[in-house]
Amino acid sequence: MLKTTIADPSRPGSLAHSARSRRWQELLRCFPDLPEMRVLDLGGTPASWRGAPVRPAQVVTVNLDPHTAREAEPGITAVVADACGPCLPGRFSAERFDLVYSNSVLEHVGGHYRRRQFTDTVHAQGTHHWIQTPYRYFPVEPHWLFPGLQWLPFRARVAVSQYWPLGHIRRAGRADAVRDVQEVELLSVTEMRSYFPASDIWIERFAGLPKSLVARK
């Protein structure tokens, strides 16, 4: 029940739902023409757009999970590809979109080199962008909902991932927990600015504290 109240973005009244609603309001303030835009969503899924407050004219999602291709529907195209690749496959490789969008993906791509490839894709494919990632120094780690987890030694983070019941990442055996911990690298404001030097970095706050970062242009 506590997990649902805090972390379920589809549940009205949850903290996650309230945060997502505020983020959508800011997105629409920055891009009021979103309903007419062609949007490239790096790391997203068609399902995530079905419940969106506003549907763009066209959405193309890029995700490594082949199951996302089954979720496509009119107006939403699912491409199974690596958002950190040198370019997108097929007809999308030469296209530019009105907006490149990404939500809580940059911290998962795997190290500085891969993050640089990801941002190269953002700049190459879009006229504008909105790239969100959780802030490293928010006191509660957002994937596990565990206070200060990101600052613990690696071994301690693995132990938490094995047994902690809250958050978005399921409890798992040691091998899977090691993989899950390895796949999350939260970013600081300085790092975000280094990847998006010409962008405005909007700091999303919760209870007055910086909670996530958005590079927008």
Please write the tens of the pLDDT for every residue from 115-147: 999 999 999 999 999 999 999 999 999 999 999
Residue 11 CB contacts under 8 Å (≥ 6 apart), including other chains: 4, 5, 17
Quick one: average pLDDT of 54-82? Answer: 92
pLDDT score for 21: 83
pLDDT bracket for residue 11 (50, 70, 90): low
Look at the alpha carbons of 108, 183, 85, 123 in this order and tell me if their dihedral is positive or negative.
Answer: positive
pLDDT of residue 4: 47
For the chain, residues classed under CATH 3.40.50.150 are 2-140+184-216
Mean pLDDT of 79-83: 91
User: What average pLDDT score do residues 11-27 get?
Assistant: 74
Sign for the CA dihedral angle at 17, 115, 198, 120 comes to negative
- In the predicted model, what is the mean pLDDT of residues 148-163? 97
Q: Is the pLDDT of residue 16 over 80?
A: no
**H or E stretch covering 182:** helix 174-182
CA angle at 62 for the pair 55 and 150, rounded to the nearest 5°: 100
pLDDT exceeds 70 at position 31: yes
Q: Is 75 left (phi over 0), alpha (psi -120 to 50) or beta?
A: left
Q: Give the per-residue pLDDT at 44.
A: 94
pTM of this structure: 0.89
Between 70 and 4, the higher pLDDT residue: 70
CATH topology of domain 2-140+184-216: Rossmann fold (3.40.50)
Which residues, at least 6 apart from 45, have a Cβ–Cβ distance to it below 8 Å?
61, 63, 65, 68, 71, 78
Q: How many CB atoms lie within 10 A of CB 158?
A: 20
